Amino acid sequence: MQIINTVCDLREVIKAWKAAGETVAFVPTMGNLHAGHLQLVTRAKESADRVVVSIFVNPTQFGVGEDFGAYPRTELEDQEKLLTEGADLLFLPSVADIYEPDVNTIITVADLSESYCGAFRPGHFSGVATVVCKLFNIVQPDVALFGLKDFQQLTIIKIMVRDLNIPIEIIGVDTVREPSGLAMSSRNGYLTEDEKRDASALYYILGVARDAILAGNQSLADIEKKAMLSLQQVGFQPDYFAVCRASDLKKATIEDVDLVLLVAAKLGKTRLIDNITFSK
């Protein structure tokens, strides 16, 4: 596995691969890799001839008071995991490699970037869209893979690629979960043992809401209210619980068939997100 730090060196490698007729899959990450990330790499190997993984803790998607400085950085362990998983190249840029000191260009997917997580983390999704677009321009992949756990992020990236005519196929990969049902996340490491046990209720409450919708004897608004109350009873501080159309994350109506349930809630100092998609 090659490890490259600069944009120029990376572009030379990609140019040689493409000249040889090879396709490229890309997995952008912020490191502290777990089984969910490694599943993305496995799927990437099935999708293209070469696999590039980036590790870059992007400062522009962290707000004031968030955990940019404390975000877990485990580069040596990550390198070993990627080598074992069979990635071809690890891109490890610095902030100076990605952002000019006087950068003025920001990409924002209007409306959706301000709802759900965007309402509680102002500017977050502009930071995500901007860095992903920059990485796409640097790597020039044929396909890029993202986890379905960050469903709003995935939807925003799909819209950005469509609207900017970026010739990349975006593949969403199923969430990898702990045996308890808790979605794997780098931020799970912030949880105490007791909190980690309680955090498994997040997925359970999603399942209860899904089953209530499929039963069809409660309004969607009532189901959302009951889910928020259930989260509070477990000890969560919920930001939102929303029943949405899976296609565009607009508020669902009783006529909609393909749905996603979105939830974000704090447990102690840790903010967790999760979702379930299903069809009626």
Active site residues: 37
Tokens of 246: 């899976």
DSSP string, 42-109: HHHHHH-SEEEEEE---GGG--TTSSTTTS---HHHHHHHHHHHT-SEEE---HHHH--TT-------
CA dihedral 199, 191, 277, 224 (to 10 degrees): 50
- Report the C-alpha gap between 27 and 40 in whole angstroms: 7
Residues in the chain: 280
Tokens of 20: 């040889």
Long-range contacts, 63-72 (Cβ 8 Å, 24+): 63/121, 63/122, 63/123, 63/124, 66/121, 67/187, 67/190, 71/30, 71/32, 71/186, 72/31, 72/32, 72/186, 72/189
In the chain, DSSP assigns E strands to 2-4, 24-29, 50-55, 89-91, 143-147, 169-173, 237-245, 258-267, 270-279
